[in-house]
Structures are given as C-alpha cells and as structure tokens.
Amino acid sequence: MNEVTLLGNQLLFRGEDGNEKFPLSEASRFLWRIVDLHESATVRTLMEILSSDPEFYAKALMEGFLYDMVEVYKDPLFKPKKGDLDKIVFTWWSESWKHRDGDFDFHLSVDVHGSNKEHDNWAIEFVSLCEIIDAQISIKKDVEVFCYSMVPGDEAETASHKFGTQEFTLIQLLHAFVYEMTFCGSEKDKADKLEDLNIRSEEINKAIENGELEKFTSVDEMFKILRDKVDDKQNDDLDAESFKQMMGEDIDTGE
C-alpha cells in the first residue's frame, strides 16, 4: 500500500495511528517511502519541497544545478508562463541490449516527460521552469522492457515486453525531475543550447533535402545499418574517435 501521498501543498502519511498531514518542508522524513500523487499535486509541489532545503537536496540527489532551479523559482520576478504542456508524467524506462559476445545489459530508470492533448511524450530538458510550474504531475507504474540487438546479421525487429508494475519512492521522483530539468544545465544554459539545437536541426534538414545525409525511417532501420556496417572485429577494436565517426558525430580536432 502507498504510504505517502503528495497533495498540492501538503503531504499525507498513512501511519499506524491513522492518517496524518505534514507540511512539504518535512518531506525529507519520507524520501524512501512509496509515494502516490493526488490530482492536486503539481510541479510547484516538487519545487516547494526542493526549495525548503536546497543544500540538503542538492547533496541527497547529487544534483548541483538544483541551486539554480531554486534560485529561479524563488526570484521575486518569477511568474508562470503559458507553455505547451498540461501534465508532467513519471514512468519507468527499461532497456535490454544484446551484445556480440552473447551478453546482455539491462537498465531500469525513471523517465520524465510532458504531455498535452496532441502529444503523449514531450521531452522537457529544454522547457523553462516557469512554463510547467503549475502543470499537474502523475505517475505510471507499468514496466515495459525494450529489447535491442547489436549483433551483426541479427534481423530481429526491436521488441518490447511488459513486466507488471513497480512503485515509486519520493526520492526517485525528486531525483528524476531535477535530473531531467537540469540535463542541459541551468535555465540560461538550456536556452542557449536550444538555440544551438535549432540551428543544427535546420542544417541537418537542409543536408537531408540535398541528399548529403541519409534519413532513418525507424529505429530498426538505424540498428540494421549499424549492424551491417561494422563487423565483430571492427567493433571490438573500435576506439572513441572511430565510434564518433561511425555515429556521424563531429570530431574535435583541437584546432
């Protein structure tokens, strides 16, 4: 049973003596408890928790850019701004990778993305805090494993399998949110990198139109090309620079 429920501006704890409400500033007492979200919980609820003791949460979550988030949130000039997203969703993301030597890697982590009436999965690493501060937060407990193979000649399509449900703890929600929102750095860093990304996207689209780059139509097609392009021996001896070239990334020549 869920022990903690986040309300809009309070925390409800179900203890042996019944239900008891606590201010969000005392959320650190319940970090490792299973958590559920009331429909009144928003991004502002998370920021109220984090800003109650930013020094503690920066250390507990190992996220240095948390200070910037709190500074932006606590700025007297901070105010909500109409954005594209209605909801922020926490869900499980899991991958299984099959390697050439027959070994498998498995990864399970918390994914955070935005959604609205038109889009179910919207990346938030470039979204400003003011645009989502009043967006409702929700969780999906279903676990789906996406399977990939990097074995040359393996033509199997990418597969996915559902493996029941998994609960969330409060610290997992807080860490996943801060990690995603600060993936590109501070609020200023995000704005600068978004501008760079838009410029790069325009350049890539022009290159595709001019036939200078190949456009993948699916993830399966991309993996098939990579598997066919590099055999076992080449992969085993592949250094970092060669890998970047294979993936089409820019090489830093130091000039």
Q: Residue 205 to residues 169, 196, 202, 222, 244: CA-CA distances in angstroms?
A: 42, 14, 5, 17, 20
Instruction: Give dist(CA 151, CA 98) in Å, integer.
Output: 7
Mean pLDDT of all residues in 119-140: 93
CB 8 within 8 A of CB 2: no
Q: What is the pLDDT of residue 85?
A: 94
11 forms beta bridges with: 6, 22
Higher pLDDT, 124 or 159: 124
The per-residue pLDDT for range 229-243, each reduced to its tens digit, is 655 445 555 555 665
Query: With pLDDT > 70 as the criterion, what percentage of the chain qualifies?
Result: 80
The per-residue pLDDT for range 58-99, each reduced to its tens digit, is 999 999 999 999 999 999 999 999 889 999 999 999 888 888
Instruction: Give dist(CA 236, CA 8) in Å, integer.
Output: 52
Q: What is the pLDDT of residue 218?
A: 66
* Residues belonging to the chain: 255
The per-residue pLDDT for range 144-201, each reduced to its tens digit, is 888 888 777 665 556 788 889 999 999 999 999 999 999 998 888 888 887 888 888 8
Instruction: Give dist(CA 72, CA 68) in Å, integer.
Output: 6
Instruction: Give dist(CA 25, CA 234) in Å, integer.
Output: 54
CB 129 within 8 A of CB 80: no
pTM, entire model: 0.77
Which secondary structure element, helix H or strand E, spans residue 112, and what is its range? strand 104-115
The per-residue pLDDT for range 98-110, each reduced to its tens digit, is 887 778 888 889 9
CB 88 within 8 A of CB 43: yes
Other Cβ atoms less than 10 A from the Cβ of 165: the count is 10
CB 53 within 8 A of CB 31: no
